Structure 1
Amino acid sequence: MKNLLKIASVLSLGILLSFSFLKEKKVVVIDAGHGGTDLGANRHGIYEKEIVLNIAKKIKALNQNKNIEIILTRDDDSYPSLTDRTGKINELKPDYAISLHVNNSIKETVERSGMEVYSQENEASKKLASKFSEKFQNTVQKTANLHILRESKTPTILLDLGFINNPNERSYLASEKGQTETAEKILSFINEN
């Protein structure tokens, strides 16, 4: 009987210790902007909706960290409404959300370039945006009153990944290499934050 109690005690201790070392899974929602009939920014047959969907899917596919779960607001060429997107984010209550977009300005020019990160008007979101800006230099940080930022009840940032009217950035973001590298950069940020 004593041996049986010792074995039970050792097994119980082992089970308790194994649970104490388990990390709680971090959940991050990736919102691929636009979709369906909403093309987003577009130039020369290249569409924002396709670029951001491809990058979002790559982020999820490249994730090898078992302690991070990536959830997409869309994984096909559909258009969930802005209310649907923020509703899903609020229902899931992730650690944070990232909405992916591509920037655009009126002229076709190389003058406007680089990433921009927009945050909510709260400290957690601003801190997340600051960390992103620090990791990826030449990223402009701003706050904005956009639906996805305003209505999400979790820290949320919106990333403009580059300018579609800039021929260099458009070619890069439309390429397999550019989309993979962009997904890898965002995933490295997720792994660190």
Structure 2
Amino acid sequence: MRRNRKRRLMKLHLISLFLMVAIMGGLALSIYYSKTSQTMIAQSYYETERTVTTTQPLIIIDAGHGGIDPGSDSHGILEKDINLEIALKLQEVLHENGYSVLMTREDDNSLSLRERSDFANEKEADLFISLHQNCYAQDASVHGIEVYYNSDKTTNDQQLAQMIQESLINETGAKNRGIHSDNGLVVTRETIMPAVLVETAFISNDDELDLIMSDDYQNKVVKGIVVGIEEFLNELDRNPE
């Protein structure tokens, strides 16, 4: 009797131990698969987000001068401040139109010319737009818009300059001073993507200074640049290299 009872107790202990091991194993597998599933979902989301982001053209906006470098000045108004005002408006509109945008500066910072071009290259940008104001103190009657590019590059910089220039003139009605090749400009020479430098007004001309200080005219300038950019990108899509 005692021997049979011991056998039954041992059998019950073994069954209980087996059930405990099975339950613990099941819990471990459940936790493992749950974590694996969450990781796969997170990775899938990350890959989707990364794909969406990288399919959008990346445009670098460079507000010329800044910090200890004021650029040109007229009647106490500094070029660096106008450049930044237009740059921030341009950033907003490009974002609204679905483009990825990075700024070389978003406040009154000092940056070297090479820091600006290096930043664009490191980010592997698709376009680089540098914003400036012209000044010609020798003759205050000089006015109009002009765009500069580098003719040594093979990235369609001249085409970008021409499209932005034409669109700017259409939107603002300003005097068309044309596009110009200047291979000495660091920000258009050292950037590896299509790059232009836009002189949106002569602040040495009182009438143009008043215009470029107004939100209405700045918005026209921004629209002109955006339309030029979109025409350029659309042309690249139609005629890929």
- TM-score, length of structure 2 as denominator length: 0.66
Structure 2 residue 179 is matched with structure 1 residue 149? no
Deviation at 1:179, TM superposition (A): 2.0
- What letter matches 1:29 in structure 2? I
> How do 1:85-96 residues align onto structure 2 when only pairs under 5 Å count?
85-96=116-127
**Identity fraction in percent:** 34
| 1:139 to partner: Cα distance | 4.1
- Which residue does the alignment assign to 1:79? 110
The one-letter code sitting in structure 2 at the alignment partner of 1:119 is: Y
| Aligned mate of 1:43, from 59, 69, 74 | 74
User: Is 2:177 the partner of 1:126?
Assistant: no
Pick aligned residue for 1:171 from 204, 207, 210? 210
Partners of 1:51 and 1:179 within 8 A in 2: no
Quick one: which amino acid aligns to residue 186 of structure 2?
H
Alpha carbons of 1:108 and 1:167: their partners in 2 closer, same or farther (altered >3 Å)? farther
Structure 2: unaligned runs, 5 residues or longer: 1-51, 170-175, 233-241
State the number of aligned residues.
171
CA distance in 2, matches of 1:180, 1:46: 19
Helix, strand or coil for the counterpart of 1:98?
Answer: strand
Deviations 1:109-150 (A, max 9, x none): 22x111110001234111111222332341411011211111
Distance apart, 1:49 and its partner CA: 0.2
2:146 aligned partner: 116
CA deviation after TM superposition for structure 1 residue 184, in Å: 2.3
Instruction: Write the distance in 2 (CA, Å) between the matches of 1:41 and 1:30.
Output: 19
Given that residues 168 and 225 in structure 2 are in contact (C-alpha distance below 8 angstroms), is that contact kept between their aligned partners in structure 1?
Answer: no
Distance of aligned partners of 1:73 and 1:129 in 2 relative to their CA distance in 1, 3 Å threshold: same
The aligned counterpart of 2:64 is 33
Question: For 2:73 and 2:192, how far apart are their aligned partners in 1?
Answer: 30
Q: Is the 8 A contact 1:29 1:71 kept in 2?
A: yes
Counterparts of 1:177 and 1:47, CA distance in 2: 19
Find the residue that maps to 1:140 and give its secondary structure.
Answer: strand
More contact order relative to length (CA 8 Å, sep ≥ 6): 1
The Cα shift of 1:108 comes to 5.3
